[in-house]
Structure 1
C-alpha cells in the first residue's frame, strides 16, 4: 500500500458481497489472554494489523512463545499461566491504546525487575493514561509516567498484583476497566472495581468479559462496577476470531451513500460487538437491513438525518458523519468528547475534513453537527488522515459518490484493516465490469 496518496474511484451502482475481516477488538483481547493461559491456544482468522503485531511482539518479549502462520492468519500462543519474564528492552507498542493499557497491569506479573512501555509520538504526547496509573496503585501495582506528565513512556514494577478495591471514572477510557479485568485473576486477593459515574464505551468491556469467559474466567458485574475472584486460571482455547462490525461499517456506509446494496459475510448476528450499532443507525437514516446467521445485507436509500448518542460507539463517528453529509437535514452526534484522545483528535479532524469536501460540519465541543444537503455541496478534495486509520477509511467512502477525493497516507489503515483499499478497489472494479 503506497503511503503517499490514493484517489478513490466513484461508483454508479453497488450490488456486491464482501467478507468481513477479523475483529480487531477480539483479536487483541484473545492474544493477551492467550499469553496468560495455562497452555497452548490456537487463534484462527486472526487480524494481523499493526496493533496485533505489536501485541505479539510484546508477549514474546515477556517470555511467551508464539508460532505465527502468516498465510493462514493464525497463531499458536504458548501461554505461561501468568509467569512472565522481564524483557531485555523496552516494549514498543506503536499507537495501540489497547496495547499500552492492557500491558500496564500485565507487566506487573513479571517475577522481578521492571518493564518499560512506550509508543510512537502520538502515543507519548496525546494519549493520557493517568487515570489507569492512579487506579492500579490501590491494587499494589507500581506504574508511573516516566516524564511525570500522565503520558507514556511508562515504568512498571514487577513482582505481582496484590488485589483489593479500586475506583475508575466511568468517563475514562473503557480500556482501563478491561486492562484491570484481564490481569485481575492473578492478584493475591479478589479485585473489585468501582465505576464512578456512567461508563462510556461499555460494549467494549462486555467484549472483554466475554473473552475472559471464553478462556474460563468469570468477571462479575456488580451494581457499582466489576469483581474478579482471585485464583481463577485462564484455560487454553482453540477458536476462530469472528468478523468485525467496525471494519464492515465502511462497506455498509458505501451502500448508504451510493444508494446501493451490499452483503457482508462473516458477521455474527449474536455478536457482543457494540459497533453492530452501525446497522441500526443506518436503518434510522432510511436504509434497509436484513440479518442472516452469518451475514448482514444493507440497501441504501434517500438518506435521513440522525440525532444519536455515540458514547458507546466512538469508532463509528467518522463513518456516520460522512454518511450524514449525504443526508437531507441536520444530524447531531453527542457523547463524542473522548474522540479527542484517539489516534488523532478525531472529533476536530472529522469536522475539518468534511468542511474540506464542502460539507457543513461543526465541532461543537461536546457534539458533532453535520448539516446535510443530500451531498449537493460536496466536491473533490485531498483528505488529510492525521495518520488515523478510521479517518482514512471513512473519508474514502465519500469518494464513492464524490469525484476527485484523494486520501493521503493510505498506509495508516494497516493498524486495523491492512487490505482495506484493495477491497475498496475490488468494489469499484465490479461496478465498472
Structure 2
C-alpha cells in the first residue's frame, strides 16, 4: 500500500492556487482505540472506515499478537474477533513508529499470561514510559524498561491487573491515561487514578471514554481530579464508524487560508470529541473565510491573516501547522503550554523553530512553545526529522513561499495520512519527486 520513497525528497513550487474537494482521512486516534478495545471485547466487532496507515497497522499487528482475529471484509469494513483473555504473544511486539500503540498495548499486555516484550523504532525507543510503568506497578503489574531508563524496550509480566490506587502526571502524555482507561475495566478490583499535574491533551481522554461507551465500558471521569474505573467488566462487541480526522484536515484547511485558494474538506463532524477541531475557529479568528456545513468545512483564502495567541495544552498536534499560520500572519503569534509536544516523533517545538528559520521566518523558541513574527516565507531545503506532522506543516509553508522548496523525510507521511501528497496534487499543488542522489 505504501510507496517506496526512501531515496526521494519532495520539491514544491510555491505560489500555486489550490481548488477542490477532498475527504478528510479517518481519525488515527479513533482507529487505534477501536481496534484495541475490539481486541478485548467478547465476540466479533465491526469497524467501519478505519485509517489504514503505518501507525494503525502497528496496532493491528499488536492486537493480532495478543490473539485477536482481524479481517478486512470489504472496502472500509473490518471485523475483529476478540476476548477478555488475550494470549501470550509468540514474539516481540514491534510497534514501528507508533507511540500510541506501545503505550496502550503495554497496559493491555498485562492482561495476557506470561511475558510480553514491546519495542519500536528509534523514535519510539526515546519515548518516556516511566509514569505508565509506575502506575502499572501500583496496580499489581510487574513491568520494566530493559535498559533501566524508563524507555522501550519494555517487558511486561502478565497475569492480570489487580487494581487499586495510582497517581499519574497529566502533563506528559494522555496516552498513559488512555492505556489505564482501556485495560483497567478488566482489573480484579476497582481502580482509582488521580492526576498529580495539569491534564493536557484532555480531548484524547474524552475520545477514549467515547469509544469505551460503545463497547459498554464504564468509567467515571472526575474533571481535574481523576478516574474511577469499576472492576471485572466485560466489553461487548460493537459496530463503530471512524470519523474524519481534524488533525490531518488542519493542513488542508491551513493551506487554503495562507494561499489564494478555495478548499472544501468533507467527512468532518464538529460534534466529535476531537480537540483539533479548534483549527476551524482559529482560522476564523485570524480572518480567513470559513464555511461550516453538514459534515464539511470550506476555507477560502486571499484575506490578510492576523496573528493570534493559542494555548496548545489540549491540542498538541496542531503546533506545527499553527507555527506556519503564524509565519504568514500580520503581527505576532504566541503558541504556548506545549511542553509535551517535545516528546512526540520529534521535538516538534525545536524542529519547527529550526526549519522555519531556514525559510526566513523570525521566531523565538521557548520551553513551552513558540513566538512567531509574521512576514514572508522564502524557499529553502528543509528537514522533517522523520515526523509526519512536521513534514506536512513544512509542505504547507512551502506553498506560501516564493520559489522552490525541497523537503526531506517524505516517507514519514504514511504514518497518519498516506494520501496527503495525492490529495494536494489533486487540488493543484505543484509537487515533484527529487532523487536524493541527483541533488
Q: Shorter-normalised TM-score: what interval?
A: over 0.9
Q: What's 2:299 paired with?
A: 298
2:177 maps to: 177
Counterparts of residues 378-417 of structure 1 (less than 5 Å):
378-402=377-401, 403-417=403-417
Contact conserved, 2:140 with 2:162, CA < 8 A, in 1? yes
- Separation in 2 of the partners of 1:280 and 1:408? 31
C-alpha separation between the residues in 2 aligned to 1:232 and 1:293?
37
Flag the structure with more relative contact order, 1 or 2, with Cα contacts below 8 A and sequence separation at least 6.
2
Contact 1:37/1:79, CA 8 A, preserved across alignment: yes
Q: Kindly state the Cα deviation for residue 320 of structure 1 after the two structures are TM-superposed.
A: 0.9
Matches within 5 A, 1:121-160: 121-124=122-125, 126-160=126-160
Taking structure 1 as reference, are residues 90 and 12 closer, same or farther at Cα in structure 2, changes over 3 Å only?
Answer: closer
Shift of 1:339: 1.4
Report the equivalent of 2:29: 25
Q: Which moved more, 1:215-224 or 1:38-47?
A: 215-224
Count of residues paired in the alignment: 424
Deviates more, 1:3-12 or 1:207-216: 3-12
What is the TM-score of this pair, normalised by structure 1? 0.95
Report the Cα distance in structure 1 between the residues aligned to 2:215 and 2:406, rounded to whole angstroms: 44
CA offsets 1:118-161 (integer angstroms, 9 cap, x no match): 0111211x211101111111111111111111100000001101
Counterpart residue number, 1:107: 109
Query: Cα distance 1:429–1:196, how it changes in 2: closer, same or farther (>3 A)?
Result: closer
Where do 1:218-233 residues align within 5 Å?
Answer: 218-222=218-222, 224-233=225-234
Give yes or no for contact 1:11–1:428 (8 Å, CA) kept in 2: no
Distance 1:95 1:14 in 2: 31
1:11 CA displacement: 4.5
- Indicate the residue corresponding to 2:165 in structure 1: 165
Aligned to 2:428: 428
In 1, Cα distance between the equivalents of 2:149 and 2:378?
A: 42
> Which residue, 75, 78, 81 being the options, matches 1:78?
81
What is the alpha-carbon distance in structure 2 between the residues aligned to residue 259 and residue 180 of structure 1?
46
Structure 2 CA distance, aligned partners of 1:416 and 1:366? Answer: 25
Aligned-residue offset at 1:13: 2.9
- Write the mapping of 1:22-421 to structure 2, written as runs, cut at 5 A: 22-69=26-73, 72-80=75-83, 82-110=84-112, 112-124=113-125, 126-222=126-222, 224-300=225-301, 301-373=303-375, 375=376, 378-402=377-401, 403-421=403-421
Deviations 1:167-223 (A, max 9, x none): 111212111110000001100111111011320110110000101011111211125
Unaligned runs of 5+ in 2: 432-439
Match of 2:18 among 11, 14, 18: 14
SS in 2 for 1:400: helix
Deviation at 1:401, TM superposition (A): 2.0
Is the 2:67–2:82 Cα contact (8 Å) retained in structure 1? no
Question: Which structure 1 segments of 5+ residues have no match?
Answer: none
- Residue 290 of structure 1: SS of its match in structure 2? strand
> TM-score with structure 2 length normalisation?
0.94
* Cα separation, 1, equivalents of 2:18 and 2:349: 29
Separation (CA, whole Å) in 1 of partners of 2:193 and 2:231: 13
Instruction: Give 3-state SS (helix, strand or coil) of 2:240's partner.
Output: strand
CA distance in 2, matches of 1:68, 1:185: 28
CA drift of 1:269 comes to 2.1
Q: Distance in 2 between matches of 1:405 and 1:201?
A: 32
Residue number in structure 1 paired with 2:436: none
Within 2, Cα distance between the matches of 1:14 and 1:67?
A: 37
